[in-house]
Structure 1
């Protein structure tokens, strides 16, 4: 019974991830177009200082979407989710929130410390994920030789 369910499960997961990837690609395309429209609007404004935070937020949001789509594309190639892409997206999202909070002068010191700790942990996880991936890659190459 377990043997019959596994292929069905894999097909359903592939379908769901495919639909998610399609929506992410659509969101990236719409976001990029909107970003160009916003840049054009910036040229018509006299004071653009207040508009920079919107541009930074939009660019970093698009980068998060790209990283998430990369993790889904990697899933379709290897049927594994690579932790590095997901951690990259999380790091960029947190940096995005940090920049917004600092620019708006809404960050209190305890929040900055908490975000710094989260960034440190995510950075350590990313380094560990790369080390483990390289070790697994080396072990599989050694096994082939």
Structure 2
């Protein structure tokens, strides 16, 4: 009688062993993709910093041109967005999840970038400002909630 129970439990063990191998392969493959994306982001970040340095040089040469200054402001703010995205990818590689706090910070930086560029270029109307303020309030609320209700287990956070 004990023999059929052992035979019935063995396929379940084999299936779970195969499932575990597939999940490990999947996790390793995702880690590889994220590492490649991190290198791409690092190259992009370095290219952006070089671009900002070049824009500073061009802005100094043509300081009176409004377009050059606007381009410099946009490029500097874009570097901050790339830094936040870089941090998101490295956090994913470390924790194997995207934390809401970090994602909301990326979104806040991106919205602030667009707000600053729009304000500097004088192309935002009152409704645009109200919509942006509401969006920022929601994102800041999401970040506060993510910090307030973060997992208590330090290994997972």
Matched, 1:75 2:95: no
Match of 1:31 in 2: 48
Give the structure 1 partner of residue 138 of structure 2.
121
Gapped regions of structure 1 (runs ≥ 5):
none
- State how 1:59-74 maps to structure 2 within 5 Å: 59-74=76-91
How far 1:13 moved relative to its partner?
1.0
Structure 2 CA distance, aligned partners of 1:35 and 1:105?
A: 22
Q: Distance in 2 between matches of 1:83 and 1:55?
A: 30
Q: CA deviation at 1:4?
A: 3.0
Contact kept, 8 Å, 1:63 with 1:89, in 2: the verdict is: no
Compute the TM-score of the two structures, normalised by the length of structure 1: 0.85
The answer on 1:40 being equivalent to 2:49 is: no
Q: Does 1:95 align with 2:105?
A: no
Larger Rg computed on CA atoms = 2
What do the CA deviations read for 1:76-132 (whole angstroms, capped 9, x no partner)? 222222222221111111111112222222212222111111110000001111112
Matching residue within 13, 18, 21 for 1:4:
21
SS in 2 for 1:106: coil
Aligned mates of 1:46, 1:73 — CA distance in 2: 38
Q: 1:30 to 1:46 in 2, by over 3 A?
A: closer
5+ residue gaps, structure 2, are 1-14
Which of the two has greater helix per residue?
A: 1
2:129 aligned with 1:112: yes
Q: Which runs of 4+ in 1 moved over 3 A?
A: none
Contact 2:63 2:69 in 1 (8 A): no
> What CA RMSD, in Å, does the superposition of the two structures yield over aligned residues?
1.7
Return the alpha-carbon distance in structure 2 between the equivalents of residues 21 and 109 of structure 1: 38
**TM-score, scaled to structure 2:** 0.79
